[in-house]
Amino acid sequence: ELPTIKGDIKLDNVVFEYEKDRPALRAVSLDVKSGQSIALVGHTGSGKSTIINLICRFYDVVGGSVRVDGHDIRDITINSLRSQIGIVLQDTFIFSGTIKSNIAFGRPTATDEEIIEAAKAVHAHEFIMSLPDGYETEVEERGSVLSMGQRQLLSFARALLANPRILILDEATASIDTETELKIQEALKTLLKGRTSFIVAHRLSTIRHADKIVVLDHGRKMEEGSHDEL
């Protein structure tokens, strides 16, 4: 079991392959302090999602180790690890039900006040209130009531309410209008505050806000530094 964690994450010479002799990560090391935000950048196939897969322990490393607060993640239960990680994926997961239940997904005991507070903090409240039934509006898994940008804001509200120590975000590539884009950037700042985060970043503005940028190429870490350093 893992008690509530600080959120230090260390990759030490991590090697991984999905298929034999086809390395997806080649000795990647990364030292992330609690509360830092890391932008992972690189061409398609460079290993960004693989790093995320290993931190969540969807796969085990082939060589090296992943440590959280100094504990090798193979020495803790998957449940206690995952309970500390919030994941916001590119293709935001919306299920059939009300807007309210979608936000409360990771914390079903949340009160209406807490749900609204989270939505306000990520600038989702305004568009929710413009829907026919506000927070009680029914949405469909594949419905088109919500735009991509709105889906993203909704998933931010969900992540904020769940309040994980570690946040993983695979940023949407879809084109989003300028106004929503600005809301997303502000919401992201709120969401990242005080958490260790890994962002597969596609937007320059996101990359600029990260504490550290890690450039991957063919499974290797090529560069690491702040936006000003690189």
Chosen residue from 34, 49, 65, 147 binding Mg ion by CB under 5 A: 49
Min dist. Cβ of residue 170 to ligand ATP (A): 8
Based on the shown chain and the rule CB under 6 A, indicate whether residue 80 belongs to the binding site for ligand ATP: no
Chosen residue from 9, 11, 24, 66 binding ligand ATP by CB under 6 A: 24
Based on the shown chain and the rule CB under 6 A, indicate whether residue 50 belongs to the binding site for ligand ATP: yes
Nearer to ligand ATP, 38 or 146 (CB): 38
Based on the shown chain and the rule CB under 6 A, indicate whether residue 47 belongs to the binding site for ligand ATP: yes
Q: Which helix (H) or strand (E) holds 125?
A: helix 125-129
Based on the shown chain and the rule CB under 6 A, indicate whether residue 18 belongs to the binding site for ligand ATP: yes
Residue 93, SS3 per DSSP: coil
**Count of residues interacting with Mg ion (CB under 5 A):** 2
Nearer to ligand ATP, 50 or 155 (CB): 50
Residue 184, SS3 per DSSP: helix
The interface region with ligand ATP, picked from 38-46, 70-78, 147-155, 190-198 by CB under 6 A, is 38-46
Rounded alpha-carbon distances, angstroms, from residue 16 to 29, 32, 126, 182:
12, 19, 44, 37
82: phi then psi, degrees, rounded to nearest 5: -70, -25
CA atoms within 13 A on the CB side of 20: 0
The sheet carrying 212-217 orders its strands as: 85-88, 166-170, 196-200, 37-41, 212-217, 220-225
The interface region with ligand ATP, picked from 40-48, 108-116, 132-140, 152-160 by CB under 6 A, is 40-48
Based on the shown chain and the rule CB under 6 A, indicate whether residue 21 belongs to the binding site for ligand ATP: no
Nearer to Mg ion, 49 or 147 (CB): 49
| Nearest in space to 184 (alpha carbons), one of 153, 148, 151, 145 | 153
Any idea what DSSP says for residue 73?
G
Give the footprint of ligand ATP on this chain (CB under 6 A): 18-19, 24, 42, 44-50
Contacts to Mg ion by CB under 5 A: 48-49
